Amino acid sequence: MALSRLNHWVWLIALLGTFSFGSFNLAAKEPQQLVTAKHLQQAEKKYGILAKRRLQAWQALINQYAQKPERLVLQKVNNFFNQARFTNDIDLWKQSDYWATPYEFLGIDAGDCEDFVIAKYFTLKAMGVDESKLYLTYVKAVRLKQAHMVLTYFKTPKSIPLVLDNLTDQILKATQRKDLIPIYSFNGDGLWLSKQRGKGQAVSGGTDQLKNWNQLLQRMAP
């Protein structure tokens, strides 16, 4: 018999808490300068003046709220990116599945669920939130009856994660999101699979299993 939705989340928490590489780094980090003069010039040339202003607002957000209480940072980042328009990859990129960089996402001011999550993930990292607390999480959206991606944040390895979702500005604990069933999660450390019947495992090869993720990382490289 399949696990309940609550137990799906409990299993994912246990899995990530057990197998996550490394420990949580509590040392303060300076905010990263993600937006350069070159980025601004390219954005204005390709997408227009409003794209340039969105990139400037993005860097201002990073600078203003880096090292602030993480719950506040999560809300500010979630609200900032949720202003963008949701659309699908076919209409936007003429591809069935394309993962945009935050620069592309903000340039066009639109994207699908992966694009929202990727932008939030890299932004939170730039603001000093440790990568080991952040997971890109594939879920089944029960009401929508389709696959979906959200960003999950673990305050500690065994905490119930908070869910950052482009479908809502409200950040809730995973166990409160009865409309989502987790499938697998990953970050820069690796890919973790959560199966029904409580059998979870690290996927062989880690993020190498995700072509889109690897291509995204290459495009994000300086």
Inside any domain, residue 57: yes
Q: Which residue has the tokens 């908070």?
A: 162
CA 76/CA 69 separation, integer angstroms: 11
156: helix, coil or strand? coil
Inside any domain, residue 26: no
Pairing of strands 134-141, 146-153: antiparallel
CA 202/CA 194 separation, integer angstroms: 9
The pLDDT of residue 144 is: 86
pTM for this model (two decimals)? 0.84
- The parent domain of residue 14 ranges over 5-20+32-220
Inside any domain, residue 121: yes
CA 182/CA 67 separation, integer angstroms: 29
The pLDDT of residue 74 is: 98
What is the domain count for the chain? Answer: 1
Inside any domain, residue 131: yes
Inside any domain, residue 198: yes
Q: Per residue of the chain (222 residues), give pLDDT as tens.
A: 344 555 666 656 655 554 444 444 444 567 899 999 999 999 999 999 999 999 999 999 999 999 899 999 999 999 999 999 999 999 999 998 899 999 999 999 999 999 999 999 999 999 999 998 999 999 999 988 899 999 999 999 889 999 999 999 999 999 999 999 998 888 876 655 543 323 344 444 444 446 788 888 888 877
Inter-residue long-range contacts of 211-215, CB under 8 Å, 24+ positions, other chains counted: 212/97, 212/98, 212/99, 212/114, 213/99, 213/186, 215/99
Length in residues, the chain = 222
Q: Which residue has the tokens 């994207």?
A: 111
Inside any domain, residue 36: yes
CA 96/CA 103 separation, integer angstroms: 20
Inside any domain, residue 25: no
CATH number at 125 reads 3.10.620.30
Handedness of CA 87, 38, 123, 49 (dihedral sign): negative
CA 155/CA 44 separation, integer angstroms: 37
The pLDDT of residue 157 is: 85
Q: In sequence order, what DSSP letters do the residues of 7-68 get, joined into one string?
A: HHHHHHHHHHHHH-SS----S--PPP----HHHHHHHHHHH-HHHHHHHHHHHHHHHHHTTS
Inside any domain, residue 216: yes
